[in-house]
Amino acid sequence: MREIVFDTETTGLSPHDGHRLVEIGCIELVNRVETGEHFHCYINPERSMPSEAEAVHGLSIHFLSDKPLFAHVAADFLAFVGDSPLIAHNASFDFGFLNWELQACGLDPVCLTRMVDTLAIARTRHPGAKHSLDALCSRYGVDRSQRVKHGALLDAQLLAQIYVELTGGRQIGFSLADATGPTTVEVGFDAAAIERRFRPARPHHASEMELARHAAFVLTLADPLWSGLRSAA
């Protein structure tokens, strides 16, 4: 099964307040295994960059000024993700910006049925715990030492590892995808389909020689425990 883990960076919290996407990072998984294929781009938001947002991701408007507009990368993004499920942390945030940008270009939004939210999964699996990306990296031993600031591609790479742990760990997909396409991983087995053969108990009894040796050994015992039991009876 092919899935896409993705993350976005933006100029603010809501597209309805005039904020825009500035970065998209996507990681391809096949049978919960990273294939090495990814999509990444920076985007010119055609607006100023609030200092609060720049402090989070470090992307200045000067850096973004010569980057393509979303309309110019939308086709490549859609081609990469195809019809695969899209996994994000607090996914409604990323889907909100993504679909706003798509509709602004006259394109159809991504159906919300494709959305997989790792934040919701984490809250179900670990109620009462911290569910930030950093907290989940600590919980599952994912190395986040390079995460000095938020970055869409790096965060998608970290989230891909967390998603695998949240959904069962590495043991659910030992087979890597090969160059010819996805592999099929069988999870579990049908116990009813296993052939069961009746094996009678193996006969075992002492031979005449073994009985004679045992009797001779008993005669050598001094004051055996059972002699006292016989006297009491």
Catalytic annotation on 150? yes
**Helical H segments across the chain, by residue range:** 51-57, 61-64, 70-81, 91-104, 118-125, 133-140, 152-166, 208-219, 225-232
Mean pLDDT along residues 197-226: 74
Catalytic residue among 19, 38, 131, 150: 150
How much is the CA Rg of the chain, to the nearest whole Å?
A: 32
Integer CA distances (angstroms), 159 to 25, 82, 117, 126, 210, in order: 11, 20, 11, 16, 68
Query: Selecting from 3.30.420.10, 3.40.50.300, 3.20.20.140, 3.40.50.10420, what CATH number does the domain 2-172 have?
Result: 3.30.420.10
Mean pLDDT along residues 97-124: 96
Q: Does position 66 have pLDDT exceeding 90, yes or no?
A: yes
Q: Does position 179 have pLDDT exceeding 60, yes or no?
A: no
> What per-residue confidence (pLDDT) applies to 178?
44
Handedness of CA 138, 142, 143, 149 (dihedral sign): negative
Residue 19 CA from chain centroid, whole number: 30
- Domain assignments of the chain as residue spans, ordered by start: 2-172
Question: Which H helix or E strand runs over 6?
Answer: strand 2-10
> What per-residue confidence (pLDDT) applies to 186?
35
Between 28 and 185, name the one with better pLDDT.
Answer: 28
> What per-residue confidence (pLDDT) applies to 228?
65
> What per-residue confidence (pLDDT) applies to 222?
80
CA atoms lying within 13 Å on the CB side of residue 146: 9
> What per-residue confidence (pLDDT) applies to 86?
98
Full-model pTM: 0.71
Q: What digits encode the pLDDT tens for the residues 19-47?
A: 999 999 999 999 999 999 999 999 999 99
